[in-house]
Structure 1
């Protein structure tokens, strides 16, 4: 990524951060003046994950300035604004660093769990620091502020990171039938969510019925990425979040249970939306690991002949079936990747073993460049020599994230 391109992206991140923060600060607790849900947390985590590490310092400073201006705009003192900003951005930075440091390129389920654990644990430390400062300077209830701060960061991170990373997920081929089906499901989602969450609260019996009906939008929401892809799913989830939070904040819908205090229906809405976001993430993982996503090859070293497993129906395999010799394959790789690939094959040919994962970029055409990883490489002894068997898969679910990791 060039510095000019990063500056443009930084401007976009800052504008989005300010807009989401301005909305979040209106959804605050009247006593502690801490937002019930902090949407910029998820945006900041996604911004760090999608930005090469060498640009993290200016990204941190830019978002820190925006965060401070936000607090000052809402009539907080400059001192409190700076402390809140450092704690908030430090929390987001730590989550992104933890995910980037401990991720496994070939294990999406593990990566999701790492992200969730980092979000829950690191947000707890940040909430303790923020609540401690509020108690010290303003003598406000520590436990209540701790809980609100923690839940606001966790929910904001889960919701916005799911949406943004879903938008940057690798786009699927355009199919008119899928788009029309997805559009119909999106309309059904909006209508069902708007109806369920616009109903005023009544007696316990009607509330129970509406709470059951609240499962219908969730089922429709989960079906959209399955049918139409992850990007339409992310956009649909954004619409769903807007409807649910708006209605809950205005004391409407099944989550407004009689007897709850101000702000508590919004906390229930956060749990409701967070559960839906986690379901979406696991749908993404399942789609990533469906059978047929791996392309396997068989290489005879002494002749250089390549044979591909034709049982896989992925678009990657369809491109690779055109390669019948090792020279054709190596011509599509970068020079450094060619050397490493040859070295791995040489090790297997001489009876050695290769257990590490090898990441490389393949240029299938001037317009198609895919980041792959070799997850399996073994040798099969034959009378004419060792036959090499390898398996490839796409390294990460979205090209932008893959590219920035490689640049970092």
Structure 2
């Protein structure tokens, strides 16, 4: 990142911090010590995760300016805002520094593990220091403040950080990537998240339902969030959780929805909403982790298969597996390149034997179908009547795999193409 990019990035992070902080305070309503929602916690953790450590000082100063400006806009005590900024921003940086000591990555299980660890360190550390200060100097109960503070920060990290971490790695997909059907079904599921969340958490639409039914309906948006994560991956899932967060918090803060109906006071309803959103975020992260692990495994398997295919093609070899009971063969390598035939033309033992030179056919049949008696099995050289009007000399290197009763379960082997002759009378060169 050059100087110009940094000049744009730092103000952008500060603006995101300020905007999410402003709306967090709007959702919270009046509070003395700790707000029930604090989304900027996810902004600070995401920024420190995505930036190299040498740029953390600039990020910290940008967040400090944003927090002080937020305090000025809302008429809060400047000294308290300064202490709050140092507490929150400092522990976010410490949390990310700790996870960098582990095998941290922005993908897969390493990201989920790192995110949870960073969330716990940042939220608990900030809550202990912040609540301790209020307890010592303002005689505010420590535990009541600390649990609200920690919950707000932790859920803020779970909801906001995956959005920035996922989209920071976004690259335009090449053709042949995600299937169009998956993409459009994913968009439909995202629309269902919005529709069902608006229906369930708008008190005017569910007022005629019992409270138990209203609570049961809150599972429906979670179902569609899971579908979005499965079809659109981690980025789509994080966006679904972010949109769900907006709808849940806006309606709950206004006193609508099942959470507001059951809470004794405003803070309780927001804490219940926090728990609900934390479950949604963790569900999405888990699905994305499993999906990423599967995709990485499939990519590695495909890469290994491609390497094998290239090696076989370069060496003029074919690898096969023969089931002696059914007579079916499965080939690896390019049969068409080596022999001029499609794989299906040599899919059974009878297909192969029909193309073996008559003088060699009995020996090839015995080699593949005889019972294994434990003797050392050498290579076999034989001729194929391929291409038409010519012969191709093949060296077969194979051996049986035995079942527990010492019967042949399958035969695995390789063919090496030695030479092709225009007439069948010539010997291999």
State the TM-score, normalizing by the size of structure 1: 0.68
Q: Partner of 1:248 in structure 2? A: 252
Q: Partner of 1:53 in structure 2? A: 53
Greater Cα offset, 78-87 or 114-123: 114-123
Q: Partner of 1:258 in structure 2? A: 262
Aligned residue for 1:229, secondary structure, equals: helix
Q: Partner of 1:165 in structure 2? A: 165
Per-residue deviation at 1:183? 2.1
Gaps of 5+ in 2: 320-333, 335-429
Distance in structure 2 (CA, Å) of the matches to 1:91 and 1:30: 25
Q: 1:30 to 1:142 in 2, by over 3 A?
A: farther
Distance in structure 1 (CA, Å) of the matches to 2:106 and 2:131: 38
Matched, 1:93 2:129: no
Conservation of the 8 A alpha-carbon contact between 1:167 and 1:234: no
Matched, 1:12 2:12: yes
CA offsets 1:85-128 (integer angstroms, 9 cap, x no match):
10010121112212222134598324412321332244212111
Distance in structure 1 (CA, Å) of the matches to 2:38 and 2:299: 36
Q: 1:108 to 1:258 in 2, by over 3 A?
A: closer
Q: Partner of 1:218 in structure 2? A: 222
Note the aligned Cα RMSD (angstroms). Answer: 3.0
Per-residue deviation at 1:174? 5.8
Distance in structure 2 (CA, Å) of the matches to 1:99 and 1:66: 25
Conservation of the 8 A alpha-carbon contact between 1:201 and 1:252: no
CA offsets 1:237-276 (integer angstroms, 9 cap, x no match):
2211111111111122122243522211111111111111
Greater Cα offset, 117-126 or 58-67: 117-126
Alignment of 1:217-366 (within 5 A): 217-290=221-294, 291-294=297-300, 295-296=303-304, 297=307
Q: 1:19 to 1:105 in 2, by over 3 A?
A: closer
Conservation of the 8 A alpha-carbon contact between 2:91 and 2:122: yes
CA offsets 1:44-80 (integer angstroms, 9 cap, x no match):
1111111122211111111112112212322221111
Q: 1:260 to 1:103 in 2, by over 3 A?
A: farther
Distance in structure 2 (CA, Å) of the matches to 1:232 and 1:95: 26
Gaps of 5+ in 1: 310-320, 322-408
Conservation of the 8 A alpha-carbon contact between 1:94 and 1:122: yes
Per-residue deviation at 1:25? 1.9
Distance in structure 2 (CA, Å) of the matches to 1:107 and 1:226: 15
Q: 1:131 to 1:233 in 2, by over 3 A?
A: same
Distance in structure 2 (CA, Å) of the matches to 1:144 and 1:73: 27
State the TM-score, normalizing by the size of structure 2: 0.65
Distance in structure 2 (CA, Å) of the matches to 1:232 and 1:155: 19
Conservation of the 8 A alpha-carbon contact between 2:99 and 2:117: no
Per-residue deviation at 1:203? 9.5
**Residue-pair matches, total:** 307
Alignment of 1:111-260 (within 5 A): 111-171=111-171, 172=173, 173=177, 175-199=179-203, 206-260=210-264
Distance in structure 2 (CA, Å) of the matches to 1:75 and 1:134: 19
Q: Partner of 1:82 in structure 2? A: 82
Distance in structure 2 (CA, Å) of the matches to 1:11 and 1:177: 39
